[in-house]
Structure 1
Amino acid sequence: MTMAGQIIDAVQGLTVPQGPLAGEPVTLAKFQREFIEGAFSGGVNIGCLSVGRGAGKTALSAALAVTHLLGHWDDQAQREIVISARTLDQARTCFRFCASFVGDCEDVTIRRGNVLEIEYQDATGPHLLKAIASQGKTALGGSATLAILDERAAWPEGRGDELESALLTSLGKRDGRALLISTSAPDDGNAFSRWLDTPPRGCYVQEHRAAPDLAADDWPSLLQANPGVPENIGPSKDWLLRAAAQAIERGGNALASFRNLHRNERVNTEARQLLIELEQWAACEVDMQPSRQGPVCVGLDLGASASMTAAAFYWPDSGRLETLGWFPDDPSLAVRGVNDGVGRRYQEMADRGELRTMTGRTVPVALWIEQVLQHVAGESIATVLADRFKQGEVQDGLQSAGYRGPVTWRGFGWRDGAEDITRFQRAVYDRQIAAPKSLLLRAALSDAVCLSDPAGNLKLAKGRSLGRIDPAAAAVLAIAEGQRMASRPVSKARMQWA
């Protein structure tokens, strides 16, 4: 029998310590068996599991730790198991599961208090399980045979990284294994996200994340992040849908937290509001857009040297909105998708005609603006709007492209940004936008958040470090100007006597 098979049998030989099924044998869900088979296969020494909150992560960690402590699948002498969490109180939760699984086993000593340890004595010597907080120095000098990093995404930077390094280096002394088990981190820059996105050789990754850019209560995608529901592990379907409805109604941080914890999405949960809730934006998406009527406002967002650049086109007379994005073709969209943690999303945008590439490692400004103007060739341009911070580059590009029309320079700071964001949000709420179902724009809106100053003024920011909000920024510029045009009184000619 393989090691994974031995582990599965050993875990399912334990007894459920609490809850409605207390006293019955442990039954692993399909996704839990898949993780054990992958994390304990040949050539793997690190296993990463990401799944929604309440899916049995802590119980699984405790079961693996206890069966290893008791030697059910590893007969090394003087085995050492380390369970680490953000704080000692969080580590205590997993430790309680371990103590419950051990039960009245002979030759076991349980120490509680400031030191959380379970010691098992057999012929090969004492074997130790200990639970610690995420402070690097607490693991120095150890020689773990199994390290479990519980809720790794929540560990603080610095001290958490020190502990991870201390644990992983200690494994080499005993040919040990590490398991990183957590809900999703709020952004791609988190250490746990990097393990999932760019796993090194010898690392097994299993991630259960809901499909992005969908309503919080979309059940098929919600099930992706909660794979244990059909096997009665974790929250029930009714509870999840009820919690999703409450989060949608409350919005803001409550909705962001639900997406992060229960849909396992990488959503920033700090006290920052989204530019617009996707549920609100969905009401502005139409299957058949109105025709281009009247003058068009063109919003430009020139990205950094190698990032996305975008343009938005808004016709205030009809509410029609179109958005386009551009990337340099070096590196390819496939490589960018991996680097940005979005998989094939960029390629899908390109296949839908929403994202284009331009030759080189940077987007040539003049050629880009020429393509922007070609997109509305023959239309009456009310004005072109751009960030005054990049006025020089954009102005040179407009002149090179032969544009001689009006240009409006706006800022993304507190002054201009607060007004533009408010007008954009009002246009969404009043359904004065008719947009296609654009993956490009949906992805940008899901990453766009608003920072607030003490006076309540807003400005646009990224919700995650690798988010691409350029299409949303361009749309804010164009739609806000369209709203200003619509609110201006129409001047009437006055008759004068000669």
Structure 2
Amino acid sequence: MIGVLSIGRGNGKTALSAGLAFAELVGALQEAPQPRREILFAARNRDQARNAFNFLTGYIAALPETDQAQFIIRRGSKLEVEFEGNGGGLARVIAADGKSVLGGAPTLAIMDERAAWPRDKGDELENAILSGLGKRDGRALIISTSAPDDANTFSRWLDEPPPGTYTQEHRPPFGLPADDLESLLIANPGAVEGIGATPDWLVSQARRVIARGGSALSSFRVLNRNERVSTEDRSVLVTVDEWLSAEVDPDQLPPREGACILGIDLGGSRSMSAAAFYWPETGRLEALGTFPAVPSLLDRGAADGVSGRYVEMHERGELSVMGEATVPPGPWLAEIVRHLDGITPACIVGDRFRHAEFSEAMQAAGLARVPFIWRGFGWKDGAEDVERFRRALFDGEIKVAPSLLLRFAFADAITLVDPAGNHKLAKARSLGRIDAAAATILAVAQGARMKATPQRKARAVWL
């Protein structure tokens, strides 16, 4: 019933879908075509849907004049093509408003650049189209470049396809350089066939945006590499490439030497609790997260719009489960400290707002003598910690093994900016889990303060 195609920009997906629409319009797509066939072109707006419509009229213009006479093309307030032969058919462009398609009975629907549709209106339009397809056993083709995150409806079509859905996704593995040719050709299979951009152009464009960084690089990864990365750059905490610069192979991680700082983000009744371990002397960073057992990780991932990501993190040893409906702070903190294999943290950094819970948890975990540093997530403390974290990351003072927990935490982390230019941490989406990012910022910022504090030298005592 539904076909879903995700591929890099310029690989002919709109031209392909318009060709299928043309075949349905003239009744050549099925052995027993229905009379008065209806084809819908739906996109974010009318201008975007016009691209597929123009391909359709281009195919018609390539026919002999005697065949063209069977088509009526309307380009006024409505963009429509009517076919008078073989039972008749109508292809039309609709606006991104679900109410505009109610009452229709399409036999084929083309949803172009589905990942770019507005969340509420887009879902409303999609639901209206799919409900109309059932009237005449219709088909739908959903095409787009990759969405910026797993919560997008287009991503969920690919990750959790319902029965009767065919999916095809050309997405390279995450974490590769933007100019890696082999992965570029995964997202752009038409490049070697003369469709769209050439391999040389893709590589040169990748190197140009690498030099520019910021939104140019993020947009290239989404549009040309077909990766799921956030395209927000004005308030994003760090871009995907900035964070990937800190990742190293596990065998290249620096040793656990010097003082260890433990950053803690204590979760609420149903949220994640996260811990980050940072050794400022060597730059080594480790992170762990914990969820309560109810609901299960699979159910929680479905509710948060990340599919099986939590299960995958659990299998990699980055995410654990403790407690029933809540994570018990005391036993959890004791378990977290056991991860250090006997190393006593030089200090623990946490949220000032959770003062009472932290005090009780440290007593229960036997860490009452470890110094605790209270920090706020507001404009005052938050702005300083965010800036110190960014500086440490950009200066190469953070080294971490590839971690899905941290990747997805930083993908959902943005900053709110006040009129004075101060930044504080916030979520990019309501279902985002940024707990590991918050713990990392606390630990790294405290490590930067400790490194900047001059060491007192021992004074000679004369007897």
TM-score, structure 1 as length reference: 0.82
CA distance in 2, matches of 1:233, 1:253: 26
Number of the residue aligned with 2:346 = 382
For residues 446-485 of structure 1, the aligned pairs below 5 Å read 446-463=411-428, 466-485=431-450
- Per-residue deviation at 1:96? 0.7
- Per-residue deviation at 1:211? 2.0
User: Cα 1:372–1:159, aligned 2, differ >3 Å: closer, same or farther?
Assistant: closer
Number of the residue aligned with 1:31 = none
- Are the equivalent residues in 1 in contact too, given 2:218–2:239 (CA < 8 A)? no
CA distance in 2, matches of 1:312, 1:299: 5
Number of the residue aligned with 2:374 = 409
Q: Which runs of no fewer than 5 residues in structure 1 stay unpaired?
A: 1-44
Number of the residue aligned with 1:70 = 26
Out of 419, 432, 436, the position equivalent to 2:397 is 432
- Are the equivalent residues in 1 in contact too, given 2:215–2:232 (CA < 8 A)? yes
- Per-residue deviation at 1:217? 2.6
Number of the residue aligned with 1:30 = none
- Per-residue deviation at 1:427? 1.4
Number of the residue aligned with 1:127 = 89
CA distance in 1, matches of 2:120, 2:283: 49
- Are the equivalent residues in 2 in contact too, given 1:272–1:449 (CA < 8 A)? no
Q: Output one character per residue of 1:252-295: Cα deviation in whole Å (capped at 9) or x when no partner.
A: 22222222222223323234354334444455445334433332
Is 1:102 matched with 2:67? no
Out of 313, 330, 355, the position equivalent to 2:319 is 355
CA distance in 2, matches of 1:307, 1:196: 26
- Per-residue deviation at 1:412? 2.2
Is 1:222 matched with 2:184? yes
- Aligned letter for 1:479? V
For residues 291-370 of structure 1, the aligned pairs below 5 Å read 291-334=255-298, 336=300, 345-370=309-334
- Aligned letter for 1:457? N
CA distance in 2, matches of 1:132, 1:439: 40
CA distance in 2, matches of 1:85, 1:350: 38
- Per-residue deviation at 1:323? 1.9
Is 1:422 matched with 2:401? no
Is 1:257 matched with 2:219? yes
- Are the equivalent residues in 2 in contact too, given 1:297–1:482 (CA < 8 A)? yes
Out of 41, 46, 66, the position equivalent to 2:2 is 46
- Per-residue deviation at 1:444? 3.1
Q: Which runs of no fewer than 5 residues in structure 2 stay unpaired?
A: none
- Aligned letter for 1:305? S
- Are the equivalent residues in 2 in contact too, given 1:327–1:357 (CA < 8 A)? yes
User: Cα 1:304–1:237, aligned 2, differ >3 Å: closer, same or farther?
Assistant: farther
- Aligned letter for 1:356? S
CA distance in 1, matches of 2:167, 2:28: 25
- Aligned letter for 2:329? V
- Per-residue deviation at 1:466? 4.6
CA distance in 1, matches of 2:279, 2:124: 54
CA distance in 1, matches of 2:194, 2:51: 21
Is 1:89 matched with 2:47? yes
Q: Output one character per residue of 1:157-213: Cα deviation in whole Å (capped at 9) or x when no partner.
A: 333333223322222222211222122222333333333333333233322223223
Number of the residue aligned with 2:101 = 139
Q: Percent identity?
A: 55
CA distance in 2, matches of 1:91, 1:458: 39
- Aligned letter for 1:485? M
- Per-residue deviation at 1:383? 1.5
- Aligned letter for 2:91? L
- Are the equivalent residues in 2 in contact too, given 1:186–1:464 (CA < 8 A)? no
Number of the residue aligned with 1:12 = none
Instruction: Give the number of aligned pairs.
Output: 453
CA distance in 1, matches of 2:226, 2:110: 20
- Per-residue deviation at 1:71? 1.0
- Aligned letter for 1:325? G
CA distance in 2, matches of 1:156, 1:283: 32
CA distance in 1, matches of 2:313, 2:99: 46
Q: Output one character per residue of 1:456-475: Cα deviation in whole Å (capped at 9) or x when no partner.
A: 22222344555433222211
User: Cα 1:186–1:443, aligned 2, differ >3 Å: closer, same or farther?
Assistant: closer
Is 1:212 matched with 2:177? no
Per mean C-alpha deviation after superposition, the further-off stretch among 469-478 and 340-349 is 340-349
Out of 127, 144, 149, the position equivalent to 1:187 is 149
